[in-house]
Amino acid sequence: MHCVDCQRGVRLGSWTRHATRSALQDALRICGRPGVISFSLGLPATELLPANELEEACIYTLANNRAALQYGQPCPALKTHIVSLMRMRGVECTEGQIFLTNGAQQALSLLVKLLLNRRGSVIAEEVSYPGFQQIVQFYRAEILAVSADPNTGMEVDEVEWQLSRGIHPAFIYTIPNGHNPLGINLSIEKRHRLLAVSQRYAVPIIEEDPYGFLSYDCMIPPLRAQCDDAVFYVGSFSKIITPSFRVGWIVVPVNLVSFLDILKESSDLNVASFSQYVIARLLDSGFLSSHLRHLQSEYSCRRDAMLTALSDEFPTGSRWARPECGVYIWVRLPQNWDTMRLLEVTASSENVVFMPGSAFSPNPSPLVRASMRLNFSHPSIEHIKEGVHRLSSAVQSYHERHARTDL
Amino acid sequence: MHCVDCQRGVRLGSWTRHATRSALQDALRICGRPGVISFSLGLPATELLPANELEEACIYTLANNRAALQYGQPCPALKTHIVSLMRMRGVECTEGQIFLTNGAQQALSLLVKLLLNRRGSVIAEEVSYPGFQQIVQFYRAEILAVSADPNTGMEVDEVEWQLSRGIHPAFIYTIPNGHNPLGINLSIEKRHRLLAVSQRYAVPIIEEDPYGFLSYDCMIPPLRAQCDDAVFYVGSFSKIITPSFRVGWIVVPVNLVSFLDILKESSDLNVASFSQYVIARLLDSGFLSSHLRHLQSEYSCRRDAMLTALSDEFPTGSRWARPECGVYIWVRLPQNWDTMRLLEVTASSENVVFMPGSAFSPNPSPLVRASMRLNFSHPSIEHIKEGVHRLSSAVQSYHERHARTDL
């Protein structure tokens, strides 16, 4: 009974009519091609992933904890570790406020479902994490875009202006530490103002903080450290231990946990018990502190290598800020360039890839189109030097070609 | 800046106004209490979980496959194994049709999102898996409930009657093998008619098959074996290897995979790479065939022990069918009993728990209220005997009390 005709009759949900592929998934595919130097994605350095420590933790867990192989409630020991980690970030909270998720992406997805109604609105920077935008699109919600300064972050004046118009967005979304894609920290002064505005207008903040532990100078506390109830904090082990276990968390007021329970259960029941118990065991060993120092040292060297290479190689008129945290540098080429078109050249002829600015905005401005996000955590220092060199060659020839044709 | 006032101002999504806790999560909590014999949940037998084989697979994966610790595309080797498993179930498909998920629950959640519009409708049995009902509730969708015969399953005449009224539900949902909660297989004759009806009215079927490999007599192929395009098949390793890695899959037409990619990415990026590679390694060893035989043998003994205990202990007028597949027995007590009230007694005074029939229906009929689902895969044979004994004592005293007060 092979029913060729059936499928024509199958009606899909209406969202499929305006669904678009994700640039990040395409980038993930290209990254795997041999010979390609990738600055595209925010991957941790593969050679720094703690395989030996995970092996010990897996063996211990399998030998000592049968609950780790069964369905179960969230692992209490893991929550206790997360409370300690949060304290390292300056956040006081209790186990009851920790909600475990499959990494930061699911945390965002659940929080958006908790807070946002269909055809509602949210506030976010004009360039923001595409995985966030993708979630919001399902709600046909409006993203009220505010500008972001490439050195100090989100323009809080614009947030206030939006709120003063009398609209009531479901939340404000931001990554104040090691912003994705801008790579920078929200300035201290803007943090205070953002919290004040959030409270004055009773609009909560979703604060994503996957990079907060990857601070290279001094570690700046997240917004959540200053406000208990109106900042929903999202953390993750993906960048600091491994993304392959898919463990992240939310810090929320206790009275909202039962709603998240319902959302999580209907999504996929629970976070893989095995992942939870293995990560908890890994944290028992106290390994994370030294591992973080190691990552901070390695990644800051890579960042410096990329900054030096950019200074040495990139054309006059290009601009970037020095990230104090996270894994990205946001480079703005001279205006009117289009990094999406540049990417086609670099991917095909130079074997080097990056994320074009327009991947981070539903309606990219010319400045955004002229920008690119470069990751420095995943490539080695040699690849960073070689990759920036290849990139600047492509930039140079793109410039020459367009100087002839466009002007 | 402790903002007590903020939270009052935080508006939650409108779904939270009619959100209800899940009976299954509550059951999971009670199951963990010491001394409790639980027939509540469909857990695999903890002592049969393959800890040694998983240890070998973890060690091998960590030593040989760095990709297993990184972000990445779905593991090709795992998809190939799933194609072979599907062939064991009588289903011909290709790797390109396999979509990996966090267990069957996420598979359902993504398929519902793919197919169902807000305020749409779906067809399902009047008693069905609560985790499915929970997903559909978010869409404010109508579940067009059809009856199910406790021996032969879904009443296909009623499906046809619903469709002949001119409505166009997004899909028909069912578990034809080892039905949850009825424990039975859809009869062969009804399978043919259900497929024919699905095709005549161009309404696809979501076929959930987590128990298909746990067949105790002969293994009946799923509906998907007879129809390529209009049956969306959901499989899972949770009941046959371990639920703790959260790996399941969907078999869908190739042209729908890109939509599922978008849904999955926005939900949580991807299935934990480590889980994928470890399960793939475990399957490399060929261990699953003998493990399945072992599970089939063990679980059929437990089923038989429960059937015998029910016959010996339960009051006249109780009815149940002998499951040929899966992990549940659906027991109907004499009419007008309420197993939800019975559960309060058994949980508090007899330390034995089960799922009351009303947990499986948004609008339970008196027959459903008088029913209970008993799981036989998780408790030992001793616990099955002891648990059924405790249950029948409670049933007896419940009966005597109500014979006095209700009549």
User: Tens digit of pLDDT for each residue in B95-118?
Assistant: 999 999 999 999 999 999 999 999
> A50 is written with which tokens?
């703690």
ipTM for this prediction: 0.95
The shortest C-alpha distance from A168 to chain B (Å) reads 9
CB contact under 8 A, B272 and A244: yes
Give me the sign of the Cα torsion angle B364, B365, B371, B374.
Answer: negative
**What is the CA angle A21-B105-B168, rounded to 5?**
70
CB contact under 8 A, A269 and B10: no
pLDDT higher than threshold 80 for residue A27: no
**Which residue of chain B comes nearest to A378, CA vs CA?**
B70
Substitution target in A268, A279, A282 with the highest count of B β-carbons within 10 Å is: A268
DSSP 8-state assignment for residue B201 = T
Residue in A12, A253, A259 nearest the CB of B115: A12
CB contact under 8 A, A62 and B55: yes
Q: Grade residue A9 by pLDDT with cuts at 50, 70 and 90.
A: low
φ, ψ dihedrals at A315, nearest 5°: -70, 155
Local structure of B260: helix, strand or coil:
helix
Q: Grade residue B394 by pLDDT with cuts at 50, 70 and 90.
A: very high
**Which residue of chain B comes nearest to A112, CA vs CA?**
B13
Give the per-residue pLDDT at B2: 38
φ, ψ dihedrals at B45, nearest 5°: -65, 120
* Cα–Cα distances in angstroms (integers) from residue A128 to residues A133, A208, B212, in the given order: 7, 11, 44
Q: What is the mean pLDDT of residues A358-380?
A: 96
Neighbours of B29 (CB within 10 A): 9
Q: Grade residue A6 by pLDDT with cuts at 50, 70 and 90.
A: very low
User: Using one digit for the tens of pLDDT, what is the confidence trace for A257-276?
Assistant: 999 999 999 999 999 999 99
Q: Grade residue A348 by pLDDT with cuts at 50, 70 and 90.
A: confident
Q: Which of residues 188-247 of B touch A (CB under 8 A)?
A: 195, 198-199, 202-204, 226-230, 238, 242-246
Give the per-residue pLDDT at B348: 87
* CA dist., res. A75 & res. A389, Å (int): 47
User: Using one digit for the tens of pLDDT, what is the confidence trace for A56-90?
Assistant: 999 999 999 999 999 999 999 999 999 999 999 99
CB contact under 8 A, A62 and B51: yes
Q: Which of residues 125-164 of A touch B (CB under 8 A)?
A: 131, 134-135, 138
Q: Which of residues 48-107 of B touch A (CB under 8 A)?
A: 49, 51-52, 54-55, 58-59, 62-63, 66, 68-73, 101-103, 105-106
Residue in A8, A9, A268 nearest the CB of B109: A268
Q: Grade residue A289 by pLDDT with cuts at 50, 70 and 90.
A: very high
Give the per-residue pLDDT at B336: 81
B89 in Cβ contact with B285 (< 8 Å): no
**Which residue of chain A comes nearest to B197, CA vs CA?**
A6
Query: Of A80, A98, A93, A117, which is closest to residue A234 (Cα–Cα)?
Result: A98
φ, ψ dihedrals at A365, nearest 5°: -75, 165
Q: Residue B219: which H helix or E strand, with range? A: none
**Contact status of B34 with chain A (Cβ, < 8 Å):** no
Q: Residue B213: which H helix or E strand, with range? A: none
Q: What is the mean pLDDT of residues B300-315?
A: 97
Q: Grade residue A404 by pLDDT with cuts at 50, 70 and 90.
A: low
Q: Residue B188: which H helix or E strand, with range? A: helix B188-200
Give the per-residue pLDDT at B19: 80
Query: Of B232, B133, B252, B112, which is closest to residue A138 (Cα–Cα)?
Result: B112
CB contact under 8 A, A24 and B265: yes
Q: Grade residue B396 by pLDDT with cuts at 50, 70 and 90.
A: confident
A362-399 burial code (b ≥16 CB/10 A, e <16): eebeebbbbbbbbbbbbbbeebbbbbbbbbbbbbeebb
**Which residue of chain A comes nearest to B260, CA vs CA?**
A16
**Bond into A181 cis (ω within 30):** yes
Q: What percent of chain B has pLDDT over 90?
A: 84
Determine the residue type at B278: V
> B201 is written with which tokens?
């009215």
CB contact under 8 A, B66 and A46: yes
Residue in A15, A25, A246 nearest the CB of B268: A246
Query: Of A137, A134, A174, A113, which is closest to residue A25 (Cα–Cα)?
Result: A134
Residue in B12, B73, B105 nearest the CB of A114: B12
φ, ψ dihedrals at B326, nearest 5°: 90, -160
Residue in B49, B105, B267 nearest the CB of A70: B49
Residue in B11, B49, B272 nearest the CB of A69: B49
**Which residue of chain A comes nearest to B192, CA vs CA?**
A1
β-bridge pairing B248-251 and A121-125: unpaired
> Whole-model pTM above 0.90?
yes
B354 in Cβ contact with B40 (< 8 Å): yes
Local structure of B255: helix, strand or coil:
helix
* CA dist., res. B125 & res. B148, Å (int): 6
Q: Grade residue B221 by pLDDT with cuts at 50, 70 and 90.
A: very high
What's chain A look like in SS3? CCCHHHHHHCCCCHHHHHCCCCHHHHHHHHHCCCCCEECCCCCCCHHHCCHHHHHHHHHHHHHHCHHHHCCCCCCHHHHHHHHHHHHHCCCCCCHHHEEEECHHHHHHHHHHHHHCCCCCEEEEECCCCHHHHHHHHCCCCEEEEECEECCCEECHHHHHHHHHCCCCCCCEEECCCCCCCCCCCCCHHHHHHHHHHHHHCCCCEEEECCCCCCECCCCCCCHHHCCCCCEEEEEECCCCCCHHHCCEEEECCHHHHHHHHHHHHHHHCCCCHHHHHHHHHHHHCCHHHHHHHHHHHHHHHHHHHHHHHHHHHCCCCCEECCCCECCEEEEECCCCCCHHHHHHHHHHHHCEECEEHHHHCCCCCHHHHCEEEEECCCCCHHHHHHHHHHHHHHHHHHHHHHHHHCC
Give the per-residue pLDDT at A242: 98
pLDDT higher than threshold 70 for residue B69: yes
